Amino acid sequence: MCWNPVFQCWETSLHVNDVDLVQSLLQPAAYPWRPETVDLIETHISWVFLAGDYVVKVKRPVVFSFVDHSTLERRKASCLDEVRLNRRLTDNVYLDVVPIVQTEAGCYVSGAGAPIEWATLMRRLPAAGMLDALLRGRAAPANLSARLAARLIPFHRENVPDCGRTNEIEAAATRVVTDNLDELTPFAGAPLCRNQFELIANAMWRFVTDQHELLQHRAAAGWIREGHGDLRTEHVCLEPGGAVQIFDCVEFNRDLRCADVASDLAFLLMDLTRYGAPAIAAALLARYRAAGIDLPDTLLRFYGAHRALVRGKIACLGLATAAPENAVTLAVKAADYLDLATAAAVTVPPLLVAMTGLSGSGKSTVAERLARALGARLFASDRVRKELAGIAAAAPAAWGEGLYRAEWTSRTYDRLFTLAASHLAAGSSVVLDATFLSGELRQRAAEVSRHNNARLVLVETVCDEATVAARLAARARRGDSPSDATLETYRQQRDAVTQAPPPIPDGAVAIQIDTAGDLPISLAPLFAALGREGLVRPVVPPTPAWKLARDEA
Within-domain flag for 551: no
What pLDDT score was predicted for residue 475? Answer: 78
**Total residues belonging to the chain:** 553
**Pair (310, 407) in one structural domain:** no
Chain segment 390-429, per-residue pLDDT in tens: 876 554 544 455 566 788 889 999 999 999 999 999 999 9
Within-domain flag for 434: yes
User: Which one-letter DSSP state was computed for residue 155?
Assistant: I
Segment (H or E) for 551: helix 545-552
Chain segment 481-525, per-residue pLDDT in tens: 666 678 888 898 899 899 989 999 999 999 999 999 888 999 999
Chain segment 358-375, per-residue pLDDT in tens: 988 999 999 999 999 999
**Pair (118, 138) in one structural domain:** no
Q: Nearest to residue 265, comparing CAs of 140, 338, 156?
A: 156
**Pair (244, 329) in one structural domain:** yes
What does the alpha-carbon distance between residue 166 and residue 164 come to, in Å, rounded to a whole number? 6
Phi, psi of 438, rounded to the nearest 5 degrees: -120, 150
What is the strand order of the sheet 9-11 is part of? 2-4, 9-11, 62-64, 67-68
Q: Nearest to residue 442, comparing CAs of 497, 522, 481, 360?
A: 497
Within-domain flag for 236: yes
Within-domain flag for 340: no
**Pair (178, 89) in one structural domain:** no
Q: Nearest to residue 209, comparing CAs of 160, 174, 180?
A: 174
**Pair (354, 298) in one structural domain:** no
Kindly give the interhelix angle for 194-210 and 324-345, rounded to the nearest 10 degrees. Answer: 40
The residues facing 47 across adjacent strands are: 42, 58
Residue 277: C-alpha distances to residues 132, 269, 271 (Å): 11, 9, 9
**Residue where a domain stops, chosen among 334, 362, 391:** 334
Chain segment 233-273, per-residue pLDDT in tens: 999 999 999 999 999 999 998 888 999 999 999 999 999 99
> Residues 6 or more apart from 429 whose CB is under 8 A from it?
348, 350, 351, 352, 353, 374, 375, 376, 377, 423, 454
Chain segment 457-472, per-residue pLDDT in tens: 999 999 999 998 888 8
CATH of residue 21: 3.30.200
CB 335 within 8 A of CB 366: no
Q: Nearest to residue 164, comparing CAs of 172, 152, 153?
A: 172
What pLDDT score was predicted for residue 13? Answer: 37
Q: Is the dihedral of CA 273, 276, 278, 281 positive or negative?
A: negative
Number of structural domains the chain divides into = 3
Q: For residue 101, give its domain range.
A: 2-124
| Bond preceding residue 154 cis, omega within 30 of 0 | no
CATH of residue 452: 3.40.50.300
Within-domain flag for 246: yes
What pLDDT score was predicted for residue 354? Answer: 98
Residue 374: C-alpha distances to residues 208, 304, 422, 458 (Å): 22, 14, 17, 15
- pTM metric for this prediction: 0.87
What pLDDT score was predicted for residue 11? Answer: 39
Helices (H), ranges, 221-323:
254-257, 261-274, 278-290, 297-319
Chain segment 35-80, per-residue pLDDT in tens: 999 999 988 789 999 999 999 999 999 887 778 999 999 999 999 9
CB 441 within 8 A of CB 410: no
